[in-house]
C-alpha cells in the first residue's frame, strides 16, 4: 500500500491555542497523529523534521510569519504535502490557491467538516 494511504500524521498551525487544542482532540479521535505549531517558524521546522504529513491544516492570519509565508515555504520544499487553509477571511482564497493550497475552509468551522476533509486528504492522491 502506498505511504500516502497509510500516513495518518497532521500538522495543525494556528496561533489560537484553544482552537488548536480542539483541532488536535478532534483529529486524534479520528485516528490521526497530530502535531501543533502556534507560530509560522515552528510550523516550518515541524514540516522539515517530521514529514511526510497527510496534510497541514493552516491558519493564514498569525503574528510575525503569516500562513501565506508558511504555505509558500512548504510548497516550495515539498509539493506533495497537502495544505488545507483555515481562515476567517474568505477574500484570501485566490492568494492561497495561487500559492498551492489544496483546500480552503472558512471559520467558523465544525468538527465534522474538518475531520471529513482530513479523512478525504488521507485517502486520495494528488493529481
Give the contacts of 110 (CB within 8 A, at least 6 positions apart): none
Q: Which residue has the cell 502556534?
A: 38
pTM reported for the whole predicted model: 0.89
Give the pLDDT mean for 4-17: 82
Instruction: Supply the pLDDT for residue 123.
Output: 81
Instruction: Supply the pLDDT for residue 125.
Output: 54
Residue 46 pLDDT exceeds 80: yes
Name the residue with higher pLDDT: 121 or 84.
84
Q: How far apart (Å, rounded) are the C-alpha atoms in residues 22 and 24?
A: 5
Report, at the CATH architecture level, how domain 3-118 is classified.
3-Layer(aba) Sandwich (3.40)
Q: Where are the domains of the chain?
A: 3-118
Confidence label for 122 from pLDDT (cuts 50, 70 and 90):
confident
Q: Residue 89 has what DSSP assignment?
A: -
Confidence label for 3 from pLDDT (cuts 50, 70 and 90):
very low
Determine contact, residues 23/34, Cβ cutoff 8 Å.
yes
Amino acid at each position: 500500500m502506498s505511504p500516502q494511504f497509510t500516513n495518518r500524521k497532521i500538522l495543525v498551525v494556528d496561533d489560537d491555542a484553544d482552537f488548536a487544542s480542539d483541532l488536535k482532540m478532534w483529529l486524534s479521535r479520528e485516528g490521526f497523529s497530530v502535531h501543533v505549531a502556534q507560530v509560522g517558524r515552528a510550523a516550518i521546522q515541524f514540516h522539515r523534521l517530521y514529514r511526510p504529513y497527510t496534510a497541514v491544516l493552516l491558519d493564514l492570519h498569525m503574528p510575525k510569519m503569516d500562513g501565506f509565508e508558511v504555505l509558500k515555504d512548504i510548497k516550495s520544499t515539498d509539493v506533495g504535502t497537502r495544505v488545507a487553509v483555515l481562515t476567517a477571511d474568505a477574500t484570501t482564497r485566490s492568494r492561497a490557491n495561487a500559492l498551492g493550497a489544496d483546500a480552503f475552509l472558512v471559520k467558523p468551522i465544525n468538527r465534522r467538516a474538518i475531520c471529513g476533509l482530513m479523512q478525504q486528504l488521507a485517502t486520495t492522491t494528488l493529481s
